[in-house]
Structure 1
Amino acid sequence: MRARALRHVAAATTAASLALLLTACGGEEKKTEDTGKADASASAAAKPDVKALAAAELEKLVVAQADLKGYQVKQAEAEDRLNAGDVGADKPACEPLAEAVSGVAPGTPGASVKRKAVQVPSKDTVSSPDNALGALGVPATTVTLGSYAGQGAEQAFAALKTAGTECAGGFTLLASGEKTTIAKVSPETVTAGDEALGWTLVTQMEGRPFITNLVVFRKANNLAGFMTMSLTGKVKELPKPLIDAQAAKLR
């Protein structure tokens, strides 16, 4: 999973460097997750007045190119569009984290959409002695927006909160037949929406730590997720401009 994700970041960051010369344009994506009907029905019964937004409505609410500067925002590649059934973990409590870090809306969303947002590299970033990969080393973020019926969003958020605690010592992520060992999950401070959670996940690659940042916030019955990584294996900060832009569209 991690090797495949690195290939995707390489392609995305190459596009970002070209964005310095070309005008970037946002993409459109249509995607509906398999919802797990039994759980969704239970949530709706508990809170029948709350309905999940349709994918077409989420397309209007997910962060887009016009919403912020300094990023190239486009639709996710077809191979990035995993479903909940494609992702798991060796510990059941860690499955919500496994889903979120794989770019899957956790729990049982009625619909979800996804975007790729790559930070446009500055001259200082490209020429930095700490960044041997140049423009290919800039951070790339997978943005996922899901909408839930009933109390589904609250339940998914609560499961993530529990996972962040119970899986602090690490877990094995299973995605499309590939295994990735997460060695450590550390909390990060983040404020957005009605409630928000953030973590730094550390994976050992060739004996060196590879850092991934993950943020999820809830606004009403919607969950927005942000998974950030770089080919350098270092992510120094949360993608605050992206988080703020997405939060503004959900007010």
Structure 2
Amino acid sequence: MRATVLRRTVAATAAAASLALALTACSSDGDAKPKGEDPASASASAAPDVKALPAAQLEKLVVEQADLKGYQVQKAKAAEVVTAGDVGADKPACEPLAEIMSSAAAGDPGSSAQRKAIEVRKDTSASPDDIMGALGAPVTSVTLGSYGGEGAVKTFAALKDAGTACAGGFQVTSSGTKTKVSKVAPESVTAGEEALAWTVTSDLDGEPFVSKLVVFRKGNTLASFSTISFSGTVKALPKFVIDAQAAKLG
């Protein structure tokens, strides 16, 4: 699964490198506060009679380029969209984790939306070392899922249980590609009404591949974030991206 995701992001990461080399000045304000919007209905309470948001409305709530200065934001192409049905795990309890690791909305959402946010490194030049550094910039897949009734609450609970049950590792199958996850370690994060985060260590061609995984719930919407790097190691949670998405959800 990680190999598949990595292959899908190489071209996008290369595009980010080109953007960084051409528009270095534009990335200098990457620490600016994320652009917020008026609170939307995504903040509605997850009551039994709540319906999932229409896909068109969810598309308006997912982060865009204007929300993430210092990043290149791309809408997922049809060939890149992964659903829960494309993902499996050798341990049933681990399937929710496998799904958000694969950039799918966990469980059975009524609608979903996906974006890819590629960090544009500051102070880049045309030297080979700087180009490779840009290629190693973190790439965060952002996925929103809207659920009817208590679906968001129950799916979040399943993810919480998975973080414990799957700490020692499991095997993921995503779009036919199998990947061994050796460790799932919890991290601290604050967002939405409740949030979870993990450092995930996978085996990619015999080498450790370290990524970050975050999910938070706002009403009947789950926002999940899967961050990887061409370098093979992600050191920090994508806090700026998380905060920007939380602001849009209200």
TM range (shorter): 0.7 to 0.9
What displacement does 1:8 show? 1.7
Query: Could you report, residue by residue, the CA deviation over 1:18-60 in whole angstroms, capped at 9, with x for unpaired residues?
Result: 2232689xxxxxxxxxxxxxxxxxxx9x812x11101100111
For 1:19-168, list aligned pairs within 5 A: 19-20=19-20, 21=22, 47-48=48-49, 50-123=50-123, 133-168=132-167
Alpha carbons of structure 1 residues 128 and 224: separation in structure 2 relative to 1, 3 Å: farther
CA contact (8 A) 2:4 2:177 kept: no
What displacement does 1:9 show? 1.9
* Helix, strand or coil at the partner of 1:123: coil
Structure of greater relative contact order (alpha carbons < 8 Å, 6+ residues apart): 2
Alpha carbons of structure 1 residues 89 and 11: separation in structure 2 relative to 1, 3 Å: same
What displacement does 1:128 show? 11
1:10 aligns with 2:43: no
Normalised to the residue count of structure 2, the TM-score between the two structures is: 0.86
- Identity of paired residues, percent? 60
Q: Distance in 2 between matches of 1:188 and 1:168?
A: 12
Q: Which residue of 2 aligns with 1:39?
A: none
What displacement does 1:205 show? 2.5
The gaps in structure 1 that reach 5 residues or longer are 25-43
The gaps in structure 2 that reach 5 residues or longer are 28-45
Q: Distance in 2 between matches of 1:207 and 1:237?
A: 23
Query: Could you report, residue by residue, the CA deviation over 1:189-216 in whole angstroms, capped at 9, with x for unpaired residues?
Result: 0000000000011012343211011000
* Helix, strand or coil at the partner of 2:156: helix
Q: Distance in 2 between matches of 1:247 and 1:216?
A: 11
Q: Which amino acid aligns with 2:48?
A: K
Q: Which amino acid aligns with 2:142?
A: V
What displacement does 1:133 show? 2.7
Q: Which amino acid aligns with 1:133?
A: M
CA contact (8 A) 1:167 1:185 kept: yes
Q: Distance in 2 between matches of 1:4 and 1:126?
A: 29
Query: Could you report, residue by residue, the CA deviation over 1:106-158 in whole angstroms, capped at 9, with x for unpaired residues?
Result: 111100010010000223699797x8832111100100001111000000000
